[in-house]
Amino acid sequence: MSDTPRLTFDLDEPGIRKGHLVVPKGTDSEALSLPVFCLNKGQGPRLLVTGGCHGNELEGPIVARRLVDWLPEAQTCGRVIILPVLNPPAVQAWSRNTPVDGLNLNRAFPGRGDGSVTERIADAVSRLLLPMADTIFDLHSFGPLWDFPPASTTHPIADADLMAKTLRMAQAFKLPVTLLWEYHDTPGMFDTWAHSQGKVFVCAELGSGTVGSEALAIYEAGVRNAFIALGLVEGEAECPTFRQQKSSQTLETLSSDELKSPARGIFEPRCSVLDEVKRGDLIGILHPMDSLSADSIDIRAPTTSIVCAVKSGLHVDANEGVALLARPLNR
């Protein structure tokens, strides 16, 4: 008989509770104990905050951990469950995917109780935490390989009512960008699974590059703004300052807006995020390195757009994404 996941404490108890979500052992690993914080102040919104889904995106776990410091005093109602690290083996290894089974936790939902460790984590979260919340904030970042502005993101949702609610919630972060992101159909994403359960799920992409204190302050302000919008804490929501500006814009990007590398080589970025580009403007240059006779190749914007993400200077394969373009959402 395989064990079932369990919580070491009762989420319905009033007040502050700390304990663990226990993911049972399997053939590939011992049981995992994921620290969980729960602040229950009675009637009101039911929120789940998660970080550390991808192990090389560490802003989320830090911001989630900081919530534990200020929320007990600030929260006025409702229940907030915080799980700072969804995937401890990946975070400990600074690896996007789980080292034990090589799986991407954000492609493993709703998981399997008798599966590998990543699937067992997804199963434990799906069974025990997701049903306890109506709104989920999953704190990611674009990782170390991209330049990306602080953003709250959602994917297109077929249910128009849930789409509108989710977009409003994402905009409430008041981060520099709210992004409606059309993605190639990829099964097993946490947000897709939560949306299928009728829940409002916002994925924060808390920047990129290395973890820095200025960026963390922006992310924390964004999360606080969303808490204010939900009515969980009191206060005035305000756009955080990013590159000397306090502004927020809602953008849309389609899967066709991803620019791919035309060849294998080193990508040299020639634009910055939030640059407004016209058709033909230079986005970057691809330098093939396999031969000295191959010319460098300009990568240009196909249409008027806003640069939403650009890959750092890196060696890339042919057809690998190097930039994501976007335009103001018009709906």
Report CA dihedral (110, 114, 116, 119) to the nearest 10 degrees.
10
What is the distance between the alpha carbons of residues 285 and 147, in angstroms, rounded to a whole number?
Answer: 16
The residue of the chain with the least Cβ separation from Zn ion equals: 140
Residue 113 or 188 having the CB closest to Zn ion: 188
Helix (H/G/I), strand (E/B), else coil: 64: helix
Least separation in angstroms between residue 214's CB and Zn ion is 21
Least separation in angstroms between residue 279's CB and Zn ion is 31
Closest CA to 106 of 124, 119, 94, 117: 119
Least separation in angstroms between residue 92's CB and Zn ion is 16
Least separation in angstroms between residue 60's CB and Zn ion is 8
Residue 149 or 265 having the CB closest to Zn ion: 149
Residue 70 or 94 having the CB closest to Zn ion: 94
DSSP 279: T
What is the distance between the alpha carbons of residues 25 and 177, in angstroms, rounded to a whole number?
Answer: 40
Closest CA to 151 of 222, 49, 63, 57: 222
Which DSSP helix (H) or strand (E) runs through 120? Answer: helix 117-124
Residue 152 or 305 having the CB closest to Zn ion: 152
Residue 17 or 155 having the CB closest to Zn ion: 155
Cis omega before residue 45 (within 30°)? no
Residue 26 or 61 having the CB closest to Zn ion: 61
Residue 190 or 242 having the CB closest to Zn ion: 190
User: How would DSSP label each residue in 179-243?
Assistant: EEE-----TT-HHHHHHHTT-EEEEEE---SS--HHHHHHHHHHHHHHHHHHTSB-S---PPPBT
Least separation in angstroms between residue 57's CB and Zn ion is 5
Least separation in angstroms between residue 140's CB and Zn ion is 3
Least separation in angstroms between residue 319's CB and Zn ion is 21
Query: What does the binding site for Zn ion look like in residue numbers (CB under 5 A)?
Result: 54, 57, 140
Question: Residue 131, Cβ neighbours under 10 Å: how many?
Answer: 11
